């Protein structure tokens, strides 16, 4: 209870001074393709850091570089201030939870979890004891002698977690570990993972393409695109103040309005974005749009908790607004009908000009 | 312009054929019978009948005057084969050669199979598998004679300044190891293909050095594949008689004894009795393998 109550303070106190991981000019090329393009990144000790991006954005490659499964083409990887760029995986104090869990099929659960201790030369009785405790911690204490093939996806994932944590790594790397689970289980595991991380105070680096997952779990998020990091920040910063159209669009849905509209409304030539849930929409009054912008509704999508209204501005820009069900106004709009769009000045996020 | 639309069950064509398909669909046993009758008959003919004939012949004798097999029942052949020191020596030598060939092939096949399955690029993989299979396209006899040219006195090896094993047991082991190597590489390669890279990475990630990964992860997972390979090399070597004659000179193996008794000595019952030895050895080997539980994970 205490660890859950004050995770922030307890973590800050125990954390060493320097960053857990520092990447400097890290690049990885596979033949002609550049998977990672000179990435600079510092991951703080004890934080839950998510690497978010579409598939092929280089986030998994960065994780594999940190683990040591790939060696960088250029750049430096520092772990706790020490350069580990050229070290083999078994020489690095980081452990990985694999996307396919990578449990050893010929070993029982307890043998799987004890494996890291076994290759470190820990005595059999001790390592079995610690492995059993680790399995207990992930609620699999009664399945010690089962084989991985006898488990469900969620259980395998817990074994993989126990196996990586039992050797007490400085940093835990998680490669889309929730990707294969169904929605309910995934949401439950998100909470459990976050609690576990706060309890242990270990640095977690979590790779995901699911922006919601990244937003709910992370202390900080790094958004990857085409082998580069677009933006690093807290979930609030990433969501509320995206630094470019890619982040604005990838993290949640965004309306991106052109510079011409910026000029006519605010006297500024830049593009800007407004989140759909910050947009107010009302039917077009007979006297004209007044303070808002006229739009033609092109689609209505019922989402359960809200209704998404899509439309087109006179200049061809598409816009999306989210009408909460509690507002009870979804019925006021119909495809092909005009409506009026407006938003508050403080919800405007200016985007830097595209380079 | 009227279009003729008929319902599907009245489709033109062969109603009888459709009725047969429907009948087979409804009657699972009939379908199974149609599928398995021919192969089952073949198996019974080849395995059960041929093996029984072998066993029965071993219990008969040869009439020394006419040279014809006489159907007098006797255990003499079996007793002679198991007690005569000559046959014991030959059996032990054959067994030794088979074990050596199997061990040599295993040691050679593991790194080759690992390289093909896990290190080589996908494009090279296909090329290398074909390269492994290519020796099987050449005649067995040609390969045996080629090895004689290499190993015999005055052969390629001596020409290179290396002392030659001549016509010997060692030459037989070398030649047979070469000839049966693909049969060891292919199952082990297939086994490696089934081991996901992430398992090897996980082992390394958890702190295992490459040798520990080999011992604790790769070998245990590959045991069924390795056993499949050893059954090939072991059984094929036990039954060989051509290579033994070509590169072995006077080195007698069980196969050469069978061959001599069927041909020159015209003693089919004794040949059958000798042929039972490798069968017994292979059966014993399979029982031992089964007892270790190595086949449970197949």
Reported as a pLDDT band with limits 50, 70 and 90, residue B58 is confident
* Chain B residues in contact with A121 (beta carbon < 8 A): none
Answer yes or no: do A246 and A280 share one domain: no
Tell me whether B176 touches chain A (CB under 8 Å).
Answer: no
Q: Which of the residue ranges A1-5, A259-263, A297-301, B75-79 would you say has the lowest mean pLDDT?
A: A1-5
The predicted pLDDT at position A13 comes to 44
Cα A138 vs. chain centroid, distance in angstroms?
A: 23
Q: Does the pLDDT of residue A327 top 70, yes or no?
A: no
Answer yes or no: do A149 and A237 share one domain: yes
Reported as a pLDDT band with limits 50, 70 and 90, residue A347 is confident
Chain A residue with minimum CA distance to B198: A102
Roughly how many angstroms between the first and final C-alpha of chain A, as a whole number?
49
Q: Is residue A259 part of a domain?
A: no
CA-derived radius of gyration, chain A: 24
**Could you give the number of structural domains in chain A?**
2
pLDDT tens per residue across span A99-145: 999 999 999 999 999 999 999 999 999 999 999 999 998 889 899 99
The sign one gets for the Cα dihedral B289, B291, B297, B298 is positive
d(CA A64, CA A75): 14
Q: Does the pLDDT of residue B5 top 80, yes or no?
A: no
DSSP E strand boundaries for A10-115: 21-30, 33-43, 48-52, 74-79, 82-83, 94-97
Chain A residue with minimum CA distance to B197: A102
Cα B245 vs. chain centroid, distance in angstroms?
A: 20
B66 to each of B48, B70, B76, B190, B261, how far by Cα in Å?
A: 30, 10, 19, 53, 16
Q: Does the pLDDT of residue B10 top 90, yes or no?
A: no
Among candidates B196, B204, B205 on the partner chain, residue whose Cβ is nearest the Cβ of A100 = B196
The predicted pLDDT at position B48 comes to 87
Pick from A179, A191, A220, A192: nearest CA to A48: A220
- Cβ separation of B207 and A116 shorter than 8 Å? yes
The predicted pLDDT at position A4 comes to 41
The predicted pLDDT at position B103 comes to 97
Answer yes or no: do A222 and A336 share one domain: no
Answer yes or no: do A242 and A306 share one domain: no
DSSP E strand boundaries for B155-258: none
Pick from B118, B254, B239: nearest CA to B179: B239
Reported as a pLDDT band with limits 50, 70 and 90, residue A10 is very low
The predicted pLDDT at position A12 comes to 44
Mutate to test the interface with B, among A61, A87, A96, A156 (most CBs of B within 10 A): A96
Tell me whether B209 touches chain A (CB under 8 Å).
Answer: yes
Answer yes or no: do A338 and A190 share one domain: no
Cα A266 vs. chain centroid, distance in angstroms?
A: 33
Q: Is residue B220 part of a domain?
A: yes
Q: Report yes or no: A238 and A71 within 8 Å, Cβ to Cβ.
A: no
The domain that holds B287 is classified in CATH as 1.10.3720.10
Asked which of A211, A232, A250 is the last residue of a domain, the reply is: A250
The domain that holds A336 is classified in CATH as 2.40.50.140
Q: Is residue B98 part of a domain?
A: yes
Asked which of A190, A215, A250 is the last residue of a domain, the reply is: A250
Reported as a pLDDT band with limits 50, 70 and 90, residue A15 is very low
Roughly what angle, to the nearest 10 degrees, separates helices B268-291 and B254-262?
150
Pick from A165, A156, A40: nearest CA to A94: A165
Higher per-residue confidence, A355 vs B66: B66
Stretch (H or E) spanning A265 = helix A259-266
Reported as a pLDDT band with limits 50, 70 and 90, residue B4 is low
Task: Tokens for B48, please give them.
Answer: 């059960």
Q: Is residue B281 part of a domain?
A: yes
Reported as a pLDDT band with limits 50, 70 and 90, residue B206 is very high
Q: Does the pLDDT of residue B181 top 60, yes or no?
A: yes
Q: Is residue A349 part of a domain?
A: no
Q: Does the pLDDT of residue B25 top 70, yes or no?
A: yes
Give the range of the structural domain holding residue A315, as residue numbers without chain letter: 276-343
Tell me whether B80 touches chain A (CB under 8 Å).
Answer: no
d(CA A133, CA A114): 11
The predicted pLDDT at position A63 comes to 96
The predicted pLDDT at position B168 comes to 86
Give the angle subtended at the CA of A319 by the CAs of A313 and A324, to the nearest 5°. 125
As a whole number, mean pLDDT of residues B54-58 equals 86
Closest CA–CA distance from residue A218 to any residue of chain B (Å): 24
Q: Does the pLDDT of residue B152 top 70, yes or no?
A: yes
The predicted pLDDT at position B81 comes to 87
Mutate to test the interface with B, among A104, A122, A150 (most CBs of B within 10 A): A104
Three-class HEC string of B113-173:
HHHHHHHCCHHHHHHHHHHHHHHHHCCHHHHHHHHHHHHCCCCHHHHCCCCCCCCCHHHHH
Chain B residue with minimum CA distance to A67: B205
Answer yes or no: do A245 and A103 share one domain: yes
Closest CA–CA distance from residue B104 to any residue of chain A (Å): 26
Give percent of chain B above pLDDT 70.
93
Chain B residue with minimum CA distance to A103: B199
Q: Is residue B70 part of a domain?
A: no
- Cβ separation of B202 and A102 shorter than 8 Å? yes
Mean pLDDT of chain B: 87
Q: Does the pLDDT of residue A14 top 70, yes or no?
A: no
Winning range, highest mean pLDDT, from A133-147, A256-270, A331-345 = A133-147
Tell me whether B219 touches chain A (CB under 8 Å).
Answer: no
Q: Report yes or no: A225 and A53 within 8 Å, Cβ to Cβ.
A: yes
The predicted pLDDT at position A119 comes to 95
d(CA A191, CA A102): 23
Higher per-residue confidence, B52 vs A205: A205
Q: Is residue B173 part of a domain?
A: yes
DSSP output for B58-100: HT-EE-TTT--EE----SHHHHHHHH-HHHHHHHHHHHHHHHH
Higher per-residue confidence, B291 vs B138: B138
pLDDT tens per residue across span A23-52: 999 999 998 999 999 999 999 999 999 999
**Could you give the number of structural domains in chain B?**
1
Q: Which residue has the tokens 């010929």?
A: A106
Answer yes or no: do A44 and A134 share one domain: yes
Reported as a pLDDT band with limits 50, 70 and 90, residue A147 is very high
The predicted pLDDT at position A1 comes to 37
Q: Does the pLDDT of residue A241 top 90, yes or no?
A: no
Sheet of A48-52: strand order equals A94-97, A171-175, A203-208, A48-52, A220-225, A228-233
- Cβ separation of A98 and B209 shorter than 8 Å? no
Give the range of the structural domain holding residue B110, as residue numbers without chain letter: 85-291
Query: A78: burial class by Cβ within 10 Å (0-12, 13-18, 19+)?
Result: middle
The predicted pLDDT at position A115 comes to 96
Give percent of chain A above pLDDT 90.
54
Tell me whether B163 touches chain A (CB under 8 Å).
Answer: no
Closest CA–CA distance from residue B117 to any residue of chain A (Å): 17
Chain B residue with minimum CA distance to A167: B206
Q: Is residue A45 part of a domain?
A: yes
The predicted pLDDT at position B238 comes to 92
Q: Does the pLDDT of residue A172 top 90, yes or no?
A: yes
The predicted pLDDT at position A41 comes to 95
Q: Is residue A348 part of a domain?
A: no
Q: Which of the residue ranges A125-129, A250-254, B294-298 would you say has the lowest mean pLDDT?
A: B294-298
As a whole number, mean pLDDT of residues A6-29 equals 69
Q: Report yes or no: A189 and A178 within 8 Å, Cβ to Cβ.
A: yes
Among candidates A69, A102, A118 on the partner chain, residue whose Cβ is nearest the Cβ of B196 = A102
Task: Tokens for B10, please give them.
Answer: 């009245």
Mutate to test the interface with A, among B206, B209, B292 (most CBs of A within 10 A): B206
Q: Is residue A19 part of a domain?
A: yes
Residue B180: count of CB within 10 angstroms of its CB: 25
Q: Is residue A72 part of a domain?
A: yes
Cα B94 vs. chain centroid, distance in angstroms?
A: 16
Residues forming a β-bridge with A339: A283, A295
Stretch (H or E) spanning B262 = helix B254-262
Tell me whether B199 touches chain A (CB under 8 Å).
Answer: yes
The predicted pLDDT at position A289 comes to 63
The predicted pLDDT at position A290 comes to 66
d(CA A48, CA A300): 37
The predicted pLDDT at position B11 comes to 53
* Chain A residues in contact with B204 (beta carbon < 8 A): 68-69, 88-90
Residues counted in chain B: 298
Q: Residue B26: which residues within 8 A CB-CB, separation 6 or more? A: none
pLDDT tens per residue across span A271-306: 888 988 888 888 887 776 667 888 899 998 888 888
- Cβ separation of B205 and A96 shorter than 8 Å? yes
* Chain A residues in contact with B212 (beta carbon < 8 A): 119
Q: Is residue B129 part of a domain?
A: yes
Q: Report yes or no: A330 and A348 within 8 Å, Cβ to Cβ.
A: no
Answer yes or no: do A318 and A233 share one domain: no
Q: Which residue has the tokens 């996901």?
A: B196
Q: Is residue B31 part of a domain?
A: no
As a whole number, mean pLDDT of residues A234-248 equals 90
Pick from B288, B276, B279: nearest CA to B82: B276
Taking an 8 Å Cβ-Cβ cutoff, which residues of chain A contact chain B?
67-69, 88-90, 94-96, 98-100, 102-106, 115-116, 118-120, 163-164, 167
As a whole number, mean pLDDT of residues B263-289 equals 88
Winning range, highest mean pLDDT, from A15-19, A69-73, B6-10 = A69-73
Mean pLDDT of chain A: 88
As a whole number, mean pLDDT of residues B45-63 equals 85
The predicted pLDDT at position B192 comes to 92
Mutate to test the interface with A, among B198, B205, B222, B295 (most CBs of A within 10 A): B205
Residues forming a β-bridge with B69: B62
As a whole number, mean pLDDT of residues A87-103 equals 94
Tell me whether B13 touches chain A (CB under 8 Å).
Answer: no
pLDDT tens per residue across span B232-270: 999 999 989 999 889 888 888 998 988 888 877 778 888
The predicted pLDDT at position B293 comes to 64
- Cβ separation of A115 and B203 shorter than 8 Å? yes
Closest CA–CA distance from residue A223 to any residue of chain B (Å): 25
Q: Is residue B145 part of a domain?
A: yes
């Amino acid at each position: 209870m205490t660890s859950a109550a004050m995770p922030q303070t307890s973590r800050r106190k125990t954390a060493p001074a320097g960053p857990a991981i520092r990447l400097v000019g890290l690049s990885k090329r596979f033949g002609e393709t550049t998977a990672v393009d000179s990435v600079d990144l510092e991951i703080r000790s004890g934080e839950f850091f998510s690497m978010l991006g579409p598939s092929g954005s280089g986030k998994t490659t960065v994780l594999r570089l940190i683990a040591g499964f790939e060696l960088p083409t250029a750049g430096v990887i520092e772990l706790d201030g020490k350069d580990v760029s050229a070290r083999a995986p078994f020489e690095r104090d980081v452990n990985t939870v694999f996307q396919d869990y990578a449990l050893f099929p010929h070993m029982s659960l307890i043998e799987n979890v004890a494996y890291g201790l076994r290759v470190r030369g820990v005595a059999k009785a001790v390592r079995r004891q610690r492995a059993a405790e680790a399995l207990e911690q992930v609620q699999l204490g009664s399945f010690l002698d089962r084989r991985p093939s006898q488990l469900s996806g969620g259980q395998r994932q817990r074994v993989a977690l126990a196996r990586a944590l039992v050797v007490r790594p400085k940093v835990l790397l998680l490669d889309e570990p929730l990707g294969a689970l169904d929605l309910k289980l995934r949401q439950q595991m998100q909470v459990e993972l976050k609690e576990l991380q706060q309890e242990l105070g270990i640095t977690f680096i979590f790779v995901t393409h699911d922006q919601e997952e990244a937003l709910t779990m992370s202390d900080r998020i790094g958004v990857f695109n085409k082998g580069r990091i677009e933006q690093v920040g807290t979930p609030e910063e990433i969501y509320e103040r995206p630094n470019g159209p890619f982040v604005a669009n990838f993290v949640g849905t965004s309306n991106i309005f052109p510079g011409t509209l910026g000029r006519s409304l605010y006297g500024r030539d830049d593009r800007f974005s407004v989140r759909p849930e910050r947009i107010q929409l009302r039917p077009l009054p007979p006297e004209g749009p007044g303070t808002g912008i006229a739009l033609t509704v092109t689609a209505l999508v019922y989402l359960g908790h809200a209704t998404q209204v899509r439309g087109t501005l006179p200049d061809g820009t598409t816009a999306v607004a989210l009408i909460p069900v509690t507002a009870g106004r979804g019925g006021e709009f119909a495809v092909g009908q005009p409506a009026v769009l407006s938003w508050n000045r403080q919800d405007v996020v200016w985007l830097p000009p595209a380079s | 312009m009227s279009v003729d639309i008929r319902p599907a069950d009245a489709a033109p064509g062969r109603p009888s054929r459709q009725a047969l398909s429907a009948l087979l669909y409804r009657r699972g046993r009939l379908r199974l019978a149609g599928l398995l009758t021919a192969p089952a008959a073949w198996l019974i003919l080849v395995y059960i009948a041929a093996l029984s004939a072998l066993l029965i012949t071993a219990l008969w004798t040869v009439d020394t005057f006419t040279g014809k097999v006489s159907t007098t029942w006797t255990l003499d052949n079996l007793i002679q084969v198991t007690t005569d020191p000559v046959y014991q020596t030959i059996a032990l030598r054959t067994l030794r050669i088979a074990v050596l060939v199997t061990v040599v092939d295993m040691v050679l096949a593991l790194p080759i199979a690992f390289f093909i399955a896990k290190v080589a690029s996908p494009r090279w993989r296909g090329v290398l598998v074909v390269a492994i299979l290519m020796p099987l396209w050449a005649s067995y006899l040609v390969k045996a004679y080629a090895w004689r040219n290499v190993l015999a006195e005055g052969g390629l090896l001596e020409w290179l300044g290396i002392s030659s094993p001549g016509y010997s047991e060692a030459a037989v082991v070398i030649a047979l190891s070469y000839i049966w190597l693909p049969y060891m590489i292919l199952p082990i390669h297939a086994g490696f293909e089934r081991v996901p890279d992430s398992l090897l990475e996980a082992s390394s990630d958890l702190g295992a050095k490459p040798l520990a990964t080999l011992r604790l992860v790769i070998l245990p997972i590959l045991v069924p594949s390795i056993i499949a390979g050893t059954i090939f090399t072991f059984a094929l070597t036990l039954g060989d008689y051509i290579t033994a004659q070509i590169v072995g000179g006077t080195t007698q193996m069980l196969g050469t004894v069978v061959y001599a008794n069927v041909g020159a000595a015209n003693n089919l019952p004794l040949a059958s009795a000798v042929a039972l030895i490798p069968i017994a050895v292979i059966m014993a080997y399979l029982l031992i393998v089964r007892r270790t539980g190595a086949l449970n994970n197949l």
